Amino acid sequence: MTATVIPTPGAESYGPEPEPRVGFFTDTSVCIGCKACEVACKEWNDVPEEIEGFTGSSYDNSVALGANRWRHVAFIEQRVEVGGVSDSAPDSFVAEAARQQLVDQGLEPHSGDDGFRWLMSSDVCKHCSEAACLDVCPTGAIFRTEYETVVVQEDVCNGCGYCVVACPFGVLDQRRDDGRVWKCTLCYDRLRDDMEPACAQACPTDSIQFGPLDELRERADRRLERLHERGHGEARLYGRDTGDGVGGFGAFFLLLDEPEAYGLPPDPVATTRKLKRNWAAAGIGAVALAAGIAGSFLGERG
């Protein structure tokens, strides 16, 4: 393969020619929790089956992202409050307002009960602009493709696990049988054949949208504006800002609550962001020390 440099912080890319950066925009406001994306991802990428069963804490039986689950649809159940008043109060108007709020969001009260809403979100590797996992990989197993996505080469990975602890989202994971790391590739093989990633193609509501990242950001801005106009002031974009701690996500989200509600860090920062600066400072210190020793030696001889 021929190495090609793409102007992304810390990125080393392999591929014939740089392509426009592509990624995912996941609009959680229209996710219905069907988990079609999880199934499509497993089928296309031949990801091993991993059945968790009933967890006792959620209807979500796939729990979290991992080496054997590259897409995960989270189920978050919340009590709905309207105007600061919980709809658990004995007031039919409040309950009806809460129900209408759910309908406006494309959601329905779970099991027909009043006072609750489901937040659904299909989580995935963020394909960070500043990818700490790539920075710490000692074997070159992790590389940035010509589409600026981040991929692990399983035949090069030695299972050291450095990337696992470097990821600020806890996305990377090792398989128990051989210790190698596996994660979303954004269907790199499909991209090279001009095909849409399997999860996005399977999504029945277009909650997962794939395309050029600049176009997705513009589309997300318009969607957020519409939701705010409809009174959903809590809606926000997560990972859209290129000035954040990882330089922006290659897979970003529209959320209906704070990131913590979805189990996401509120202010993620690339764990290697200061690494180069620290090494440079150490280098300067070493040079100064060597100069001091040399000066002292020469002074003694004089």
Q: Which two tokens stand for residue 287?
A: 């040079």
**Distant-in-sequence contacts of 7-12, Cβ < 8 A, 24+ apart:** 8/129, 8/144, 8/148, 8/247, 9/129, 9/130, 9/247, 10/130, 10/131, 10/134, 10/135, 10/272, 11/131, 11/134, 11/144, 11/148, 12/134, 12/143, 12/144
Contact assessment for residue 152 and residue 183, using Cβ atoms and an 8 Å cutoff: yes
What are the tens digits of pLDDT across the range 141-157?
Answer: 999 999 999 999 999 99
Angle at 39 between CA 190 and CA 217, to 5 degrees: 55
Neighbours of 65 (CB within 10 A): 22
Q: Residue length, the chain?
A: 302
The per-residue pLDDT for range 146-198, each reduced to its tens digit, is: 999 999 999 999 999 999 999 999 999 999 888 999 999 999 999 999 999 99
- Start-to-end CA span in the chain (Å): 57
Fold entry, domain 3-262: Alpha-Beta Plaits (3.30.70)
R_g of the chain, CA atoms, integer Å: 23
Instruction: Extract the tokens encoding 230.
Output: 């409809």
Predicted confidence pLDDT, tens digits, the chain (302 residues): 333 333 444 445 555 678 899 999 999 999 999 999 999 999 999 999 877 666 666 778 888 999 999 999 999 888 776 554 444 333 334 345 445 555 555 544 444 445 678 899 999 999 999 999 999 999 999 999 999 999 999 999 999 999 999 999 999 999 988 899 999 999 999 999 999 999 999 999 999 999 999 999 999 999 999 999 999 999 999 999 999 999 999 999 999 999 999 999 999 999 898 766 544 444 555 555 556 565 666 665 55
* Cα distance between residue 32 and residue 139, in whole Å: 40
Global pTM value: 0.76
CA 45 and chain centroid, separation? 18
Spatial separation of the C-alpha atoms in residues 178 and 223, rounded to whole Å: 43
